[in-house]
Amino acid sequence: MDYRDIADRALAARAIIATASMSQKNDALLAIRDSMVANRKQILSANSRDLKAGQKQGLDEALLDRLQLNDKRIDAMIRGVEQIVALPDPVGEISQVTKKSSGIEVGLMRQPLGIIGIIYESRPNVTIDAAALCLKSGNASVLRGGTEAFHSNQAIAVCIETGLRAAGLPDACVQIAPTADRAFVGAMIGGEDPICDVIIPRGGKGLIERVAKDARVPVIKHLDGNCHVYIDAESDIATSLRILENSKTHRYGVCNAAESFLIHEAVADSLLPELNELLENYEVEVRGCEIVCSLISSATVAREEDWYEEYLAPIVAIKVVQSVEEAIRHINTYGSHHTDAIVSKSYRTIRQFMRAVDSSSVIANASTRFADGFEYGLGAEIGISTDRIHVRGPVGLEGLTNQKWIVFGEGQVRR
């Protein structure tokens, strides 16, 4: 396959989509939606082909579930496109304009990142989500989905191409890899002249580690979701239990589920027995420090690696700490910089925690499960970043742009 042709087409499309009007981009998105409605049967048929192949290959039930499309899931994909249409367009937004002593006015303008590469596994819904977000934010995109979803992704690609043409935009604005060849990933991220300006990997830890290691362009990513909830000395037991329950048991297999609880010693005796009863109802296994094991008879002693672990399962690590400072040190040592929460009545302690915890989302008196683009009002997200780059946390439309300086003058020259 001629990877250079894909790169050249993306480069040409980048200049066009970057300056497209909001109405033209929205017209394209609505045409994509209409094409998905019209081609629902073809998408389901292609997905059925992928599912049969996956079953034959022995894919596990969890992977098959992520791969599966049905009417309900396609309806959700269509609604997702409509929600992105309703979002404001960040491209061209001007902010922080100030007049300087020289008479010039200086400000910032939002612009697209360029060509965004999305590398992902299993879920065909990511294809339409990623394409729509990149399109609305004025970016060209190159998408490489998992081999197991190849036919589903190609069926969705037809809908995207149809919508782009209907709006008068090049179909190269969104290119979905017409190959399952793993070498294509290398062409996207590496070599002397990578296809993409930015890469966003979505999938298992192995995929993300490989992309992060080999990429020669910036990567927007997170590896793990080892999220913590710290219960402060000045906390309400009922509120604490409600937040701990939701953070851990609402959904085990998501990156914003809590994996570790840190309990201040002042409330450990009163909180832990009730917490144990709650966790037993959900059949959650407890791995704890010595104090936790003395108060919860069914708990096993936590090993060092337990404090680092993203379980994605009904297992939780619990430690009793002497202070908020110890909790902060623990989180910054063992955490994954994803999402960490504090439950406290003390504004001073909350502020200390929020300033010191080095995570992309820090939450006070609410569940870690709120770390989500939709819940944050972004409308949709393309992923979560835990790195120290221009965007951290859930990445929505604005996160797919950066800023350039703009200067207005009236003939001034520098003296």
Domain of 34, CATH number, reads: 3.40.605.10
State the first-to-last Cα distance of the chain, in angstroms, to the nearest integer. Answer: 56
Give the max Cα distance, the chain: 78
Do 198 and 241 sit in the same domain of this protein? no
Is position 95 within any domain?
A: no
Do 31 and 127 sit in the same domain of this protein? yes
pLDDT in tens, the chain (415 residues): 577 889 899 999 999 999 999 999 999 999 999 999 999 999 999 999 999 999 999 998 878 988 999 999 999 999 999 999 999 999 999 999 999 999 999 999 999 999 999 999 888 999 999 999 999 999 999 999 989 999 999 999 999 999 999 999 999 999 998 877 778 888 888 877 888 999 999 888 888 898 999 999 999 998 889 999 999 999 999 999 999 999 999 999 889 999 999 999 999 999 999 999 999 999 999 999 999 999 999 999 999 999 999 999 999 999 999 999 999 999 999 999 999 999 999 999 999 999 999 999 999 999 999 999 889 988 778 889 998 878 899 999 999 999 999 999 999 999 8
Do 9 and 154 sit in the same domain of this protein? yes
Q: Which residues span the domain enclosing 347?
A: 227-375
Is position 99 within any domain?
A: no
DSSP structural state of residue 135? H
Is position 403 within any domain?
A: no
Which residue, 178, 193, 221, sits at the end of a domain?
221
Do 196 and 259 sit in the same domain of this protein? no
Which residue, 221, 240, 271, sits at the end of a domain?
221
Radius of gyration of the chain (CA): 24
Do 184 and 258 sit in the same domain of this protein? no
Do 215 and 232 sit in the same domain of this protein? no
Is position 393 within any domain?
A: no
Do 231 and 315 sit in the same domain of this protein? yes
| Cβ(360)–Cβ(393) below 8 Å | yes
Which residue, 194, 221, 248, sits at the end of a domain?
221
Hey, is 22 helix, strand or coil? helix
Is position 396 within any domain?
A: no
Is position 111 within any domain?
A: no
Do 290 and 189 sit in the same domain of this protein? no
Do 143 and 71 sit in the same domain of this protein? yes
CATH of the domain at 266: 3.40.309.10
Domain count of the fold of the chain: 2
Residues 6+ apart with CB under 8 A from 348: none
Do 301 and 325 sit in the same domain of this protein? yes
Do 206 and 233 sit in the same domain of this protein? no
State residue 374's pLDDT score.
Answer: 84
State residue 1's pLDDT score.
Answer: 56
Do 268 and 157 sit in the same domain of this protein? no
Is position 405 within any domain?
A: no
Length reported for the chain: 415
CA–CA gap between residue 319 and residue 330 (Å, rounded)? 10
CA–CA gap between residue 361 and residue 228 (Å, rounded)? 11
Is position 383 within any domain?
A: no
| Cβ(393)–Cβ(362) below 8 Å | no
State residue 187's pLDDT score.
Answer: 84
| Amino acid in the structure at residue 263 | I
Q: What is the DSSP string of 351-377?
A: HHHHHH--SSEEEESS-GGG-STTTTT
The alpha-helical segments, DSSP class H, found in 19-124 are: 22-38, 40-57, 61-67, 71-86
